[in-house]
Amino acid sequence: MRAVLITGGAIRVGRAIAEACAEAGWQPVIHYNSSAGSAEELAKKLGTVAVGQNLSQEGAGEKLIAAAVEKLGRPLTGLVNSAAIFEHDTAGEATEEALYKHFRINAVAPMMTAKAFAKQAPDGGAVVNILDQKLFILNADHFSYTVSKQALHGATLTMARAFAPKVRVVGVAPGYNLPSPGQPEEVFERLAPTVNVLERRLTPEDVAETVLFALQHRAITGQVLIADNGEHLKASPRDVMFSE
C-alpha cells in the first residue's frame, strides 16, 4: 500500500485530503502540531498513524519525514504539504516577525520537508504543495500569507525540475472553501457560491479530489492545478469574503 504524509492532516482541508487518500487505497500519515486529539482520532478511524512536529522549528521537515518513515517501517510514496498559517495584514502593516513566521511555516517547512521526502523515495513518488488561488488575484489584505505562498509556488516549479525524473512536484491552488478565521459560518455559506462562476460552494472534498489526482497522475509535474470553481474568472475582488 502506498503511503502519503499529509502535513496539517488532522483539520480543515488536510483532513479531507487524508480521508480521500484513504478511500483511494493510500495509507495517509497524519501530521499535526497542536491538534493531537483530532489527529489521533482520525488516525484511529482510518487505521493509520499520526506524527507530531512543530513546523516552525529548525530541521522540522527532516525530523518529520524521519519520524513518519520510522512509524511506517517503509518509505513514503507521497507528500502533501497542507499545513499553513493565515493571518491578516497589508503590505503597509506587515512586520518582520509576521513575515518570518509565515515564511517559516508556509514556505521553508514545506520546501525542507519535500527535500527530505525526495531523499527517502528511492523508487520515486509525488509531492503536492497546497498553494492558494490568492496567487492569481493578489488579495491585498493578507500580505505575509500571500507572499509566503508565492515563494512556495516558485519552489514548486524549481523542485519539479530538480527532483526529476523520480519525484514529481505539483501545486494545487484552492479557492474559497472554508470560513476565514473569525468569519461566521452563516456568512461563509451565503458568500461562498457568489464568488465563483459555477455559483456553488467549493468544498474541502473538491480540493481533496484535485490533490488525489495530482498525486496519482504520472504525467503531471511542475504545474499548478487551480481548484476554485472558476473563482479566478470573476471580476469582483475576493476581498468581499473578508468584509463581513
> pLDDT per residue over 68-105, tens digit each?
999 999 999 999 999 999 999 999 999 999 999 999 99
d(CA 100, CA 232) in angstroms, rounded, equals 28
Q: Domain residues of the chain, as ranges?
A: 3-242
> pLDDT per residue over 120-154, tens digit each?
998 999 999 999 998 887 677 889 999 999 999 99
Assign domain 3-242 to a CATH class.
alpha beta
CA distances from 172 to 124, 160, 210 (A): 20, 14, 7
Q: Is the pLDDT of residue 2 over 70?
A: yes
Q: Is the pLDDT of residue 244 over 50?
A: no
